[in-house]
Structure 1
C-alpha cells in the first residue's frame, strides 16, 4: 500500500531556462476535500470554497445557483511566472490533484509525456503566454473530481495545444477559456464525456481576442466517441467570440457541434455583431 504525504512535488517560481527530462512525478495527495466542509464542484477545475452565490435564470421556472468566486483545484507540480521552461519525456501519474499547473510566465513547453491516473486535470494553464502543449498522451484523468478536463487554459496569450492524444476523460477533453490567440491543432480526443453531460471533446468559452487577427483557431482535430447524453463534439459557449473552426472531424457524438455567440457584453452593438464564430470547410465537420 502507498499512502502519499506530500501535496506538492515541485514548485518553481520565477525560474528561467530550466529543463526537466525523463522524470516520473507520482504518489502525491490533496487533503483539502477531507475537511468538514467537503468538496463542492463548481465548473471544470473550480470548486466552491465559501462566499457569495448568484443565480442564473435559464428560462421560465429554470435557474442555476453558482458561486460568485470559485477556487481552482491545485496541481502537484507547479510553475509560476517562469520563463523558458521545458518539460519533455516525463510522466505524471497517481496524483491526488491535477498533474501540472502553470500560471503566468512565458515560453513553457510540455512535450512527449504521459499523464494518467490523475484525480483532477492533467494540465491547467492560467494567465501565461507562448505556452505549448504538444505530442502528449493523456488518459484516465478526473478520477475523483469528474468535472476536470484533460487540458484547460484561460487568460492565456498565443498558446498552442497540438498533436496530443486524449482519451477516457469524465467530461471535456480540451477547454479554452477567455484569452487571446489560442491554437488548438490536430489533436485526437476520444471517449470524452464518460461521466458527466453538457460538455464536449473540445470546449471554448468567452472572447478569444478582439479581432480575427488575434482570435482562436480550432483546426484539424479529430473528436470521437463522446459518451453520455447531451454532448457536443465541438462546443463554443458563454460568449465565445473571434473563433475560427475549420477542418475538424467529429464521429459518434449526440451533436457534431454547437457554434454560437451569446451572453457576452461588448461596448457597442457593432462590436457584438462583429463577434462571430466562423465555420470554414464545412465538409470537414461530420456527425
Structure 2
C-alpha cells in the first residue's frame, strides 16, 4: 500500500473497508495527481470528490465530507505529497473530460462519452453484456465496479432483492451495486469513464476508430422479357418486368398493365365496367 493510499484509508476510517476498491483507488489517484490542487482546508478535494464520497458511503453527509477532506489534505501535506501548483499547465498533464467546455454543453458531452465508454466495455444491452464481454477485458474486481456504476447511472440506486447465496456471481454484482447507495447518476457516469480510462487508457481512440460493418444495399437488376398472352384464342405480346433480387427472380405485378384487344383500359386506378358480350345467363333459381 502506498503512502497516499494509507493516508486516504486513515482519513476515511473503517468505512474505507466497505467501499469498492476501484473507488478507493480512484480517490487515491485523484488526490495524488501532481497537478491536483487541495486549496485551503482541503476545499479542492471537497469540490472534486464530494458527490463520490457521499454517494459511495465513505461519509454520511456533505458536512462530514468537508471535514474528512480537510483531514486528508492536512495529512497529504505532512507527508510531503502536496506539490506546488504550476502556473502554466504542463503539456503532459492529464486533461479533464470537460476542460474547455461550456457549462451548458459539458453535461451532454459527458453523457455521450459515458455511453461510448459503456458500449466499448461491453454494456450494449445484449444478454451477454456485463458478463463474458466485460470479464474478458477487465479483472473481475474492475468488471464488478463497472457493472455497478453502469447500473447506478442508467437504473439508479439498487432496489433489487438480494440474490441467493447459491448464485455467487449475481450476489457479487448485487453487492457491488448496493454499495453505491444513493450516488448520483452523473457521478456514476463520470466515475465509470475514469475507471475505464485507468484500466484501458487508449479506449477512446480505439472506440473512435471503430467502423461498423457497412450496410449491404440490395441490388435490383431489372430484366424485361416478352411473353405471349393468349386471349380468346388470339396471341398478343405483353412485356412483363422481372426483378432479380440477390440472385432470385421475383415477378413484379404492376398496377398499370394495359391489356391488348377489346375494351382496352385507358383510365387507371378507377373502377371501369368490363365489356360484356354474349347471351344473358339463365337464372339459377
TM range (shorter): under 0.3
TM-score by length of 1: 0.19
